[in-house]
């Protein structure tokens, strides 16, 4: 696994996080939370575009044509496979997974790769509000199920102790390896991660996840523009197909 593979995983997860946030823009418990969901969704969708734009300068774009037809080719975490049905799922993603992605961005910015240093630095400032929002709602109390799942998937996403993240850290391209990333996440959350057991033999090193699966068909169709074509006027649909 290469640095572009890791950046693509980060981009795909940022994109899916932004979409899942946006789905709650009119469903959150308060108007303020509605607005926050919409704003954070726009932030993360924008961040994903910046990350995708880093792939070519890094020297190798891992994206293949299968991404246009196979939802399982996207490198998102299982947490984003299906729309969230409970506010606690939103909060756990906001507090834990969003912060885990920010910690990885920090490792990129303080690493030795110039394009990541320059292009991702602004994200750290924008993510500060995401962290404060997630921490505030987390402190109000949520169910432990989504929270434990978010911790588990964050730790899996950082990778095994002897995997690609550790190698990129040794090479200086990342300023933190898996152990340091986990410690940094715990530092942000001011708590230790719950006890987790990861079967690294079953871990998908490309998609950085321990479970099979893919995003739901509706979301995948929306990502690929299929839903827009479906509901477009006949002339527009014909033009889109050509």
Give the tens place of pLDDT for each residue, 142-195: 889 999 999 999 999 999 999 999 999 999 999 999 999 999 999 999 999 998
Burial of 85 (0-12, 13-18, 19+ CB in 10 A): exposed
Instruction: Count CA atoms within 13 Å of residue 199 on its CB side.
Output: 4
Q: What's the CA gap between 43 and 100, in Å, rounded?
A: 16
Say which CATH number the domain at 8 has.
Answer: 1.20.1260.10
pLDDT tens column, 34-61: 999 999 999 999 999 999 999 999 988 8
Q: What's the domain count of the chain?
A: 1
Q: Is the dihedral of CA 74, 77, 78, 83 positive or negative?
A: negative
Q: Which of 46-50, 163-167, 214-218, 233-237 has the lowest mean pLDDT?
A: 233-237
For residue 198, the 8-state DSSP code is -
CA distance from start to end of the chain: 36
Q: What are phi and psi of 6, to 5 degrees?
A: -65, -45
Residue range of the domain that includes 50: 3-241
Tokens of 81: 């496979």
pLDDT at 237: 47
209, pLDDT greater than 50: yes
C-alpha separations of 188 from 5, 103, 131, 142, 185 in Å: 26, 9, 9, 18, 5
What's the predicted TM-score (pTM) here? Answer: 0.90
Query: Can you tell me whether residue 210 is helix, strand or coil?
Result: coil
Residue 82's nearest CA partner among 230, 223, 207, 220 is 220
């Amino acid at each position: 696994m290469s640095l572009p593979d890791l950046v693509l995983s980060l981009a795909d997860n940022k994109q899916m996080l932004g979409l899942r946030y946006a789905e709650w823009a009119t469903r959150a418990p308060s108007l303020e939370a509605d607005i926050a969901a919409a704003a954070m969704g726009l932030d993360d969708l924008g961040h994903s575009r910046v990350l995708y734009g880093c792939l070519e300068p890094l020297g190798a774009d891992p994206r293949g044509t299968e991404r246009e037809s196979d939802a399982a080719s996207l490198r998102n975490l299982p947490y984003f496979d299906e729309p969230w049905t409970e506010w606690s799922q939103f909060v756990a993603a906001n507090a834990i997974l969003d912060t885990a992605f920010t910690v990885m961005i920090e490792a990129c910015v303080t690493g030795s790769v110039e394009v990541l240093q320059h292009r991702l630095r602004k994200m750290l400032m924008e993510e500060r509000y995401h962290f404060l929002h997630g921490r505030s709602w987390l402190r109000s109390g949520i169910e432990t199920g989504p929270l434990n799942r978010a911790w588990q998937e964050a730790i899996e996403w950082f990778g095994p102790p002897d995997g690609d993240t550790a190698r990129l850290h040794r090479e200086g391209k990342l300023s933190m390896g898996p152990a340091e990333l986990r410690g940094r996440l715990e530092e942000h959350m001011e708590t230790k991660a719950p006890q987790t057991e990861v079967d690294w033999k079953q871990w998908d090193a490309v998609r950085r996840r321990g479970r099979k699966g893919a995003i739901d068909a509706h979301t995948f169709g929306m990502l690929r523009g299929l839903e827009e074509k479906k509901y477009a006027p006949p002339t527009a649909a014909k033009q889109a197909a050509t």
